Amino acid sequence: MIDKTVPNVEAAVAGIADGATVMIGGFGRAGQPVELIDALIAHGASDLTIVNNNAGNGDTGLAALLAAKRVRKIICSFPRQSDSWVFDGLYRAGEIELELVPQGNLAERIRAAGAGIGAFFSPTGVGTQLAEGKEAREIGGRRYVLEYPITADFALISARKGDRWGNLVFRETARNFGPIMATAAATTIAQVDEVVPLGDIDPETVVTPGLFVDRVVAVGERPWLRDDVFVGGVDLEGRALEEENR
Amino acid sequence: MIDKTVPNVEAAVAGIADGATVMIGGFGRAGQPVELIDALIAHGASDLTIVNNNAGNGDTGLAALLAAKRVRKIICSFPRQSDSWVFDGLYRAGEIELELVPQGNLAERIRAAGAGIGAFFSPTGVGTQLAEGKEAREIGGRRYVLEYPITADFALISARKGDRWGNLVFRETARNFGPIMATAAATTIAQVDEVVPLGDIDPETVVTPGLFVDRVVAVGERPWLRDDVFVGGVDLEGRALEEENR
Amino acid sequence: MTTRISRDDLARRIAADIPEGSYVNLGIGAPTLVANFLPADEEIILHTENGLLGMGPAPEPGLVDPDLINAGKQAVTALPGAAYFHHADSFAMMRGGHLDVCVLGAFQVSQTGDLANWSTGAPGAIPAVGGAMDLAIGAKDVYVMTDLLTKQGESKLVAACTYPLTGVGCVSRVYTDHAVFDVADGAFVVRELFGDNTIDELRELTGLALGATEGN
Amino acid sequence: MTTRISRDDLARRIAADIPEGSYVNLGIGAPTLVANFLPADEEIILHTENGLLGMGPAPEPGLVDPDLINAGKQAVTALPGAAYFHHADSFAMMRGGHLDVCVLGAFQVSQTGDLANWSTGAPGAIPAVGGAMDLAIGAKDVYVMTDLLTKQGESKLVAACTYPLTGVGCVSRVYTDHAVFDVADGAFVVRELFGDNTIDELRELTGLALGATEGN
């Protein structure tokens, strides 16, 4: 019997070595595997290269990993946010390296890694600072730059439900980078709100087929989803909800 | 109100001009938009370039379009099948041009067209006849050849259900090329078994979002799905079911 | 004194130019306001690059769902007919030219349609690009929504951008608080003047040889 | 006279080498037989490139579903835990190295692991490649299942392929009706002999300087 479920988040992050490249799903807070990140902090791996769209929000999750000085370098599209004070401080102090990638190129480079594509010509970023030094080419009258895959040793992602084969479904815009990161890492670790029996997920609706997933851990209802309050998020006016609830 | 549904297959295929490039979904019979192809034959467009995985089965659908001498060229991965006698005859008579593409490169080239990728390096076909004359490159110790997108003027695809915004869900392995062809054509025309009210398709399970689809036409239950007999298909031993039922 | 219309009026003006059935991405910040002025009786489908097509308005207070946000990380809703997808698929929609309109903010727009909106190039600033470069090339029409002048009174419409570029030759139209400009053949052409603005005044404010459409 | 095991026995032999939990693609034709010998009490997940992971056996007669077929266009079923996906995603699984094992037929395999299985290069033949070239590079291990000799008695194991190639240096192991061969460092190494076959006989049949593993 195939059973990719592991009993707890400690077991889920086992084997992540110092110096590893780790993709972490999420767009801001949505889809961020906070429980796995907390376990990674406790696990202790350091000198990490992190791939994420952002560079942490508030003081939890990815921001806490950064605050613990475990991250040597971050590859992302949008580090600077209203609540990215942890990253901001480290960056200004020269304590973290940043590789800035346009968001769509980040996504496509991750997908390319999972799909076995050696490199691809993208029109995004042509003629900008972020394409400097990259191979350029005109194809069919349009200009492109050559972009290479981004691979990782591990991917930590968050999904709504999973089964023991590793099939996953996501929830709303928390899907974001999870499905593509799952394809691009040597070992993919998924936290899910709920593990369901094999066969419960309609085969027509599986978003991430189990072959991309190595470990599944149930974390229960995510605490920052409770009471209709987006813990650490922003309200309708963009103010931090945490502030309001303090 | 957005309403992409059209009343009948004649309206669905309107505007397909002589000389057009038309992608046709399906893998063998599964997912082949037979009713749209029949309408295309009646519509009369000729000198077509067709993109499909195969080159027609039996005497219906794509095979009938070929038999009507409407196709100048076919781009596909696997023309020769046990029941591809129509194509076989035309090819041997020099009456149809063939561009043979490995199936995964065919799929990825179609996806690249829809995703705005200028070209990509694929490891498939390296060192073979089908890569002759193509730009090759070694990246990270592996050899690749450069492959270009395949675009089309029209895509004809078959889906299980659609709504008036053009959102589609498919059925089992009939999904195959439909979702990627929908992204790669200037105009995408989907036949569906059933048009459902907007909102009936769970947003988590939409396979082809409506922005890729221009026209939706309900064709009812497909006749070759009836009575549990795969009309024109093969049985468990690979024999043509049509033969058995004649 | 030249007329300057309000942010809301500018958003209303842009909304009026978006036909029913369009697929539209509204950039973070002021462009988001455009959604408030789309006609309630027409269907215009909003895309947010973090994986949703058919985005609806902000939820009622108390119904905030942390998994359902827009690219600005604000709470939103999903309309009947919506679809969720992952980031590679979402940016394929943009890069592949499937959106009709993107509305973006700007630091500068050049008369050849170059856009600068992601970095002022200030030393010590933390760079962050997000989806800006993808959006800049990611629609059939890229509209810019901006004040004509900076707070210091400098024109944001320029002969050539001095700030780091977001995209080259990508902007098709600029909606400012003074006037609407089309980018055509390497020049700004005044499409519409607001209030008592005149082309000559705009030429003075921008320092550019602006073209005029008939009637302006 | 050398021993030649049956197709079914060869399929059984291959099945025995596939560990539980493997993701496996079985090529059209003889390799499909391997499915019949996978242990019923173990979970081995079959991929078919036309968009299904978790493929089950053929349906009962009368339950044929025309939308549910394998790459050979035969009716199949889907197991609990299955997933459907489109062609680009399906071939991304292969090309991206996510499958553990592919089992393929062959016209020829060279001692450097080149595979020829899609075309005999015969003049006038209609070329058709399907997914052969993708499968050839599409798994961590590519196993070939074939008779050692053609009907004319020529070895399918060769120093260099004379038929058009499907893939270069892609085959890791060849299961034949006479013996099992590993491809290692530019040579075939006999891994297992069936029946009364000897290495010397196989050297004579193939004309190749075959290596031997310990015990053979």
3-state SS of chain C?
CCCCCCHHHHHHHHHHCCCCCCEEEECCCHHHHHHHHCCCCCCCEEEECCCEEEEECCCCCCCCCCCCECCCCCECEEEEEEEECCHHHHHHHHHCCCCCEEEECCCEEECCCCEECCCCCCCCCCCCCCCHHHHHCCCCEEEEEECCECCCCCECEECCCCCCCCECCCCCEEEECCEEEEEECCEEEEEEECCCCCHHHHHHHHCCCCEECCCC
Lowest mean pLDDT segment, chosen from C39-43, D75-79, D118-122: D118-122
Is D87's CB within 8 Å of B177's CB? yes
The region of weakest confidence among A68-72, D61-65, D114-118, D188-192 is: D61-65
- Give A87's contacts in chain C (Cβ within 8 Å): 126
**pLDDT score for B29:** 84
| List of residues 6+ apart from B222 with CB closer than 8 A | B34, B35, B158, B193
Interface test with chain B among D65, D89, D134, D142, by most B beta carbons within 10 Å: D134
Query: What pLDDT shows up at residue B169?
Result: 98
Contacts of D86 (CB under 8 A, 6+ apart): B107, B175, B176, B177, B178, B179, B180, B207, D51
Q: How far apart are CA D144 and CA D173, in angstroms?
A: 6
Identify the DSSP state of D164: P
B87 chain-D contacts, CB cut-off 8 A: 126
In this structure, what token pair is assigned to residue B140? 């990270």
Answer whether C96 sits within 8 Å of B183, measured CB to CB: yes
**Tens digit of each residue's pLDDT (9 = 90 or more) over C66-97:** 899 999 989 899 999 999 999 999 999 999 99
Pairing of strands D52-56, D45-48: antiparallel
Q: Closest by alpha carbon to A152, among A177, A129, A122, A120?
A: A177
Q: Which of A2, A161, A180, A196 would best serve as a mutation to test chain D binding (most D beta carbons within 10 A)?
A: A2
- A245 token code pair: 């609830």
Question: What mean pLDDT is predicted for residues D46-57?
Answer: 97
- Residue B211 at interface with chain A, using a CB cutoff of 8 Å: no
Q: Are B215 and B12 in contact (CB under 8 A)?
A: yes
Q: Which of C20, C45, C96 sits opposite B114 (nearest CB)?
A: C96
> From edge to edge, which strands make up the β-sheet containing C157-158?
C115-116, C108-110, C157-158
Instruction: Identify whether the C-beta of residue D59 lies closer than 8 Å to the C-beta of residue D75.
Output: yes
Instruction: Compute the nearest-CA separation of C1 from chain B (Å).
Output: 43
ipTM over 0.90? The verdict is: yes
Confidence of residue D87 (pLDDT cuts 50, 70, 90): very high
CA distance B161 to chain C (A): 13
Q: Which residues, 6 or more positions from C72, have their beta carbon under 8 angstroms from its beta carbon?
A: A238, C28, C29, C32
Hey, what's the torsion of the CAs at B60, B62, B63, B66, to 10 degrees? Answer: 130
With CB atoms and an 8 Å threshold, state whether D92 touches A114. Answer: yes
Cβ distance of B116 and C92 shorter than 8 Å:
yes
Q: Do B2 and C20 touch (CB under 8 A)?
A: yes
> What is the C-alpha separation between A96 and A90, in angstroms, rounded?
6
Residue whose pair of structure tokens reads 């769509």 in the numeric block: A104
Question: CA C193 → CA B113, B132, C111, C183, C202, distances in Å?
Answer: 40, 58, 18, 15, 9
Strands (E), chain B: 21-24, 48-51, 71-76, 97-100, 120-122, 136-139, 142-147, 152-162, 168-169, 185-195, 215-218
Mean of pLDDT values over C176-191: 96
**Residues of C belonging to the active site:** 49
Q: Which chains does C contact via 3+ CB–CB distances below 8 A?
A: A, B
Q: Identify whether the C-beta of residue C181 lies closer than 8 Å to the C-beta of residue C157.
A: yes
Tens digit of each residue's pLDDT (9 = 90 or more) over B38-69: 999 999 999 999 999 999 988 889 999 999 99
Output the pLDDT for position C215. 62
- Alpha-carbon distance of D140 to D25, in angstroms, equals 11
Q: What is the mean pLDDT of residues C102-112?
A: 98
% of chain C beyond a pLDDT of 90: 86
Query: C53 φ, ψ to 5°?
Result: -120, 135
Do chains D and C have 3 or more beta-carbon pairs under 8 angstroms?
Answer: no
**Contacts with D113 from chain B: Cβ below 8 Å:** none
Chain B to chain D, count of Cβ pairs less than 8 Å apart?
171
The residues facing A215 across adjacent strands are: A189
Asked if C52 and C84 count as a contact pair (C-beta separation under 8 A), the reply is: yes
CA distance A172 to A222: 15
Q: What share of chain A is helix, strand, coil (3-state, %, to 5)?
A: 30, 25, 45
Angle between helices A103-115 and C87-95 (to 10 degrees): 120
Asked if C92's CB is within 8 angstroms of A110's CB, the reply is: no
Of A164, A203, A210, nearest to D78 by CB-CB distance is A203
Q: Do B2 and C80 touch (CB under 8 A)?
A: no
Interface C:A, ≥3 CB–CB pairs < 8 Å: yes
Q: Which chain D residue has its CA at the smallest distance from A182's CA?
A: D98
Give per-residue burial for D104-114: e unless 16+ CB within 10 Å, then b: bbbbbbbbbbb
Task: Show the tokens assigned to C64.
Answer: 């905030």
Q: Indicate the DSSP class of residue A30.
A: B
Query: Comparing C-alpha atoms, which of D15, D83, D17 is closest to residue D47?
Result: D83
- Using alpha carbons, list the distances in angstroms from residue A203 to A200, C71, D55: 9, 30, 11
Beta bridge partners of C1: none
Query: Could you say which of A116, A123, A171 has the minimum Cβ distance to residue B116?
Result: A123
Cβ contacts of A111 on chain D, cutoff 8 Å? 92
D164 has pLDDT over 70: yes
User: Is the minimum CB–CB distance between B206 and chain A shorter than 8 Å?
Assistant: no
**What's the one-letter identity of residue D16?**
A
pLDDT (tens digit, 9 = 90+) per residue, A173-200? 999 999 999 999 999 999 999 999 999 9
B142, B167, B204, B206: best mutation site toward chain A, by most A Cβ within 10 Å?
B204
Mean pLDDT over each residue of chain C, to the nearest integer: 95
Region D151-168: mean pLDDT is: 97
Q: Which of D42, D81, D91 lies closest to A210 in CB terms?
A: D81
Give the count of beta carbons closer than 10 Å to the beta carbon of residue B225. Answer: 17
**A71 residue type, one letter:** V
Regarding chains C and B, contact by 3 or more CB pairs under 8 A is answered as yes
Instruction: Give me the pLDDT at residue D205, please.
Output: 96
Chain A residue at shortest CA distance from C116: A128
Closest CA of chain C from B136, distance in Å: 25
pLDDT-derived band at D124, boundaries 50, 70, 90: confident
Enumerate residues 6+ apart whose C-beta is below 8 A from C195. C2, C3, C4, C5
Ranges of chain B whose pLDDT falls below 70? 222-246
**DSSP code per residue over D176-210:** ESSEEEEEETTEEEEEEE-TT--HHHHHHHH-S--
What the block records as the tokens of C177 is 């608080």
B124: nearest CB among D85, D114, D133: D133
In our burial notation (b when 16+ CB lie closer than 10 A, e otherwise), range D15-39 reads bebbeeebbbbbbbebbbbbbebbe
User: How far apart are alpha carbons A129 and A121 in whole angstroms?
Assistant: 17
Distance between CA atoms of residues C69 and C48, nearest Å: 9
Interface check for A134 against chain B (CB to CB < 8 A): the answer is no
Of the listed ranges A230-244, C190-204, D84-98, the least confidently predicted one is A230-244
Across the interface, which of D64, D90, D130 has its CB nearest the CB of B230?
D64
B192 vs D68: CA distance, rounded Å = 17
Write down the pLDDT at residue C4: 94
Contact (Cβ atoms closer than 8 angstroms) between residue B200 and residue B163: yes
Contact C98 B211 (CB under 8 A): yes
* Residues A51 and A71: beta-carbon distance below 8 Å: no
Supply the pLDDT for residue A244: 40
Which segment of A2-6, B187-191, C125-129, C206-210 scores lowest on mean pLDDT? C125-129
C-alpha D107 chain-centroid distance: 12
Give the Cα separation of A79 and A100 in Å (integer): 8
Which residues does chain C have within 8 Å of residue B204's beta carbon, measured at their own beta carbons? 84
Q: Which residue has the tokens 């769970």?
A: B202
pLDDT for the residue numbered A82: 83
Residues of C with CB under 8 A from a CB of B: 20-21, 23, 43, 45, 47, 52-54, 78, 80-85, 88, 91-99
**Considering Cα of B21, then B22, then B26, then B29, what sign does the dihedral take?**
negative
Amino acid (one-letter) located at B149? P
Inform me whether the C-beta atom of residue A119 falls under 8 Å from chain B C-beta atoms: yes
Whether residues C128 and A231 touch (CB distance < 8 A) is answered with no
d(CA C78, CA C55): 5
Q: Which chains, if any, share at least 3 CB pairs under 8 A with chain B?
A: A, C, D
Residues ≥6 apart with Cβ < 8 Å to C52:
A172, A173, B203, C68, C70, C76, C78, C82, C83, C84, C85
Record the pTM: 0.95
Which of D42, D49, D60, D204 is the catalytic position?
A: D49
Mutate to test the interface with C, among A24, A84, A101, A128 (most CBs of C within 10 A): A128
Which residues from chain B sit within 8 angstroms of residue C93, using beta carbons? 209, 211
User: Is C76 within 8 Å of A169 (Cβ atoms)?
Assistant: no
Question: Which residue ranges form the domains of chain D, and what is each CATH number?
Answer: 7-212 (3.40.1080.10)
Q: How far is CA A122 from CA A235, C130, D89, in A?
A: 35, 16, 20
* CB contacts, 8 Å: B75 with chain D: none
Q: How confident is the model at residue C60 (pLDDT cuts 50, 70, 90)?
A: confident
Neighbours of chain A (3+ CB pairs under 8 A): B, C, D
All residues of chain B having their beta carbon less than 8 Å from the beta carbon of residue C80 are 198-199
**Which residues make beta-bridge pairs with B30?**
B27
Positions in chain A short of pLDDT 50: 228, 232, 235-238, 242-246
Cβ pair B115, A144 in contact under 8 A? no
Q: Do D99 and A204 touch (CB under 8 A)?
A: no
Chain A residues near residue B169 by CB distance under 8 angstroms = 204
Among B118, B148, B169, the residue with its CB nearest the CB of A204 is B169
Q: How many Å lie between the alpha carbon of B1 and the closest alpha carbon of chain D?
A: 30
